[in-house]
């Protein structure tokens, strides 16, 4: 029996290692997606193959066959503990990692491994018994191997989890099959944008027709257009934009500057702010005040501020929030969004790996990093004769679009991480999930797209994520593994 067991493990290890070698890039990608091994994918992908081939060699040579059986027992215990942790302690169940795993489900493979352990254990006992060794001797060997194998895997699990969530060096971990398409709506042009949402509707603004609100049911089954008016048209608008919050809709043009506010039971919006502040981003907090981004006259850099509608009080500026690295404009450019459920504001830098979490009074709660390693904006600028600054070369974008749901930030990254499939990257948008309360990276997921298609908007709710492209609005539902994270 020991000889038959040795041949079985030789065949098993050779098959497993060769299948991994033949598709090594894909094997590395799959290891990187493991909830237990993500942080060590580069090392483990080589170590597993080398170990399997080395153990097969030990089993081939009669003199070292017993050692090979002990090694077979150790690696099978490690694989078994790994699968047990995946099934019971992982945030999600990853895809298979090559070899026989591709032919069996995780539970089936757990039982297969247990059978292999029993086979190795029986063969070791028979060989040791034939050598007339005391039972205590090889019992201690087996116990020591079991403890060591289990300890190594458990250590890798906890240390990898900590590294990925808290000290990530740009290794993404993807939810497999995270979404399924729910519905889609064709759009008549590419100039729509997300203006807001409530529990049953999505609101789109239209750059070509600024006073038209497109109201779409959350299931994308019902579409209607609402045309509204303003109480005054005496201004040369350059960029009139729609924002929806709760039962109110707002039109703003920070270059004029002016803000209109209306209720959905009213056909016209009234002026609530005029000549108070100039701004280039606008977030309504409630019906009495708003947050904005502007360029400071003193520092010539982007600055956040808060202002009450129709107030004679000066805006409260917070120059300490957005930090300057070079010119104060391009290097600190970013997107300001609100988290409706939790009354948070988030400013995410476009050209560096950082976002700022604030409350609605613009008090900084934390400054956190995204998982990429671009801490300094990679941009080149030059100053023109009239004093203006412009980019001198194409910028190196890090973060593109953001959405927030519950206490999570969903960030569309523009950079490919370590051990990722370049083919999959080119056919999908990568969305990274951050728990900004725990200051942790959680995982990522793909949104598939057609070649050349651009993502122009991102909006997330508790049960769906909506993407806006140049031609369509598409809704996706979360599958169970991602839904449990979104709504945990």
DSSP 247: T
Give the other-Cβ count within 10 Å of 273's Cβ: 22
Q: What's the pLDDT score for residue 103?
A: 63
Question: Residue 27 and residue 96: Cα distance in Å, rounded?
Answer: 9
Residue ranges with strand state E in 264-407:
268-274, 281-284, 289-295, 302-308, 316-318, 334-339, 344-349, 354-359, 364-369, 381-383, 389-391, 399-405
* Segment 237-290, tens digit of pLDDT: 888 999 999 889 999 998 888 999 999 988 899 999 998 999 999 999 988 999
**Read out DSSP for 199-233?**
SSEEEEEETTSTTEEEEEETTS--EEEEE-EES--
User: Is this model's pTM higher than 0.75 or not?
Assistant: yes
Domains within the chain, CATH numbers bracketed: 2-166 (no CATH), 179-486 (2.120.10.30)
What are 474's strand-pairing partners? 184, 467
Q: Residue 379 burial (CB < 10 Å; 0-12/13-18/19+)?
A: buried
Question: How many Cα atoms sit within 13 Å of 119 on the Cβ side?
Answer: 17
* Segment 410-432, tens digit of pLDDT: 999 988 888 787 888 888 999 99
Q: What are phi and psi of 310, to 5 degrees?
A: 50, 40
Q: What percent of the chain has pLDDT over 90?
A: 47
Angle value at C-alpha 379, between 373 and 383, nearest 5 degrees: 155
DSSP 425: H
Q: How confident is the model at residue 133 (pLDDT cuts 50, 70, 90)?
A: low
Task: Tell me which residue of 91, 88, 30 sits closest to 482, measured CA to CA.
Answer: 91
Give the pairing of strands 268-274 and 229-230: parallel
Q: What's the pLDDT score for residue 131?
A: 65
Q: Mean pLDDT across the stretch 111-132?
A: 84
Angle value at C-alpha 63, between 62 and 68, nearest 5 degrees: 75
Q: Are 27 and 41 in contact (CB under 8 A)?
A: no
Q: How confident is the model at residue 380 (pLDDT cuts 50, 70, 90)?
A: confident
* Segment 105-116, tens digit of pLDDT: 778 888 899 999
Q: What's the pLDDT score for residue 217?
A: 95
């Amino acid at each position: 029996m020991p000889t038959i067991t040795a041949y079985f493990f030789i065949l098993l290890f050779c098959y497993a290692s060769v299948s991994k070698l033949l598709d090594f890039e894909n094997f590395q990608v799959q290891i990187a997606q493991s909830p237990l091994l993500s942080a060590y994918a580069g090392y483990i992908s080589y170590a597993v193959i080398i170990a399997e081939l080395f153990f097969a060699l030990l089993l081939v040579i009669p003199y070292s066959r017993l050692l090979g059986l002990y090694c077979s027992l150790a690696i099978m215990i490690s694989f078994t503990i790994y699968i047990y942790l995946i099934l019971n302690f992982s945030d999600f169940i990853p895809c298979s990692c090559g070899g026989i795993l591709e032919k069996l489900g995780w539970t089936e493979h757990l039982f297969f491994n247990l059978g292999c352990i029993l086979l190795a254990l029986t063969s070791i006992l028979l060989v040791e018994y034939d050598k007339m060794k005391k039972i205590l001797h090889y019992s201690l060997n087996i116990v020591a191997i079991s403890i060591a194998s289990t300890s190594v895997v458990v250590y890798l699990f906890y240390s990898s989890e900590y590294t990925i969530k808290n000290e990530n060096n740009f290794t993404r971990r993807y939810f497999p099959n995270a979404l399924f398409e729910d519905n889609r709506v064709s759009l008549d042009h590419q100039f729509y944008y997300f203006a807001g949402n409530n529990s049953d509707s999505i609101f789109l603004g239209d750059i070509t027709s600024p006073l038209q609100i497109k109201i779409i049911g959350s299931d994308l089954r019902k579409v209607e257009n609402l045309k509204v008016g303003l109480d005054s048209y005496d201004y040369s608008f350059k960029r009139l934009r729609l924002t929806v919050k709760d039962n109110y809709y707002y039109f703003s043009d920070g270059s004029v500057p002016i803000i209109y506010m209306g209720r959905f039971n009213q056909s016209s919006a009234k002026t609530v702010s005029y000549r108070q502040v100039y701004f280039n981003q606008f977030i309504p907090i409630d019906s009495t005040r708003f947050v904005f981004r502007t360029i400071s006259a003193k520092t010539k850099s982007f600055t956040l501020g808060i202002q009450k509608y129709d107030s004679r009080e000066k805006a409260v500026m917070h120059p300490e929030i957005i930090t300057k690295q070079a010119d104060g404009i391009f290097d600190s450019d970013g997107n300001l969004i609100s988290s409706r459920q939790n009354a948070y504001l988030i400013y995410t830098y476009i050209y560096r790996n950082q976002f700022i979490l604030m409350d609605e009074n613009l008090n900084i709660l934390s400054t956190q990093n995204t998982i990429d390693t671009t801490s300094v904006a990679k941009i080149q600028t030059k100053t023109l004769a009239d004093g203006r600054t412009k980019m001198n070369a194409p910028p190196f974008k890090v973060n593109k679009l953001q959405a927030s749901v519950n206490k999570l930030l969903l960030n569309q990254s523009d950079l490919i991480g370590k051990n990722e499939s370049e083919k999959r990257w080119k056919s999908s948008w990568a969305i990274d999930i951050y728990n900004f309360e725990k200051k942790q990276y959680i995982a990522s997921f793909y949104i598939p797209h057609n070649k050349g298609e651009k993502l122009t908007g991102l909006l997330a709710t508790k049960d769906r994520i909506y993407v806006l492209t140049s031609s369509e609005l598409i809704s996706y539902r979360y599958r169970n593994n991602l839904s449990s994270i979104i709504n945990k």
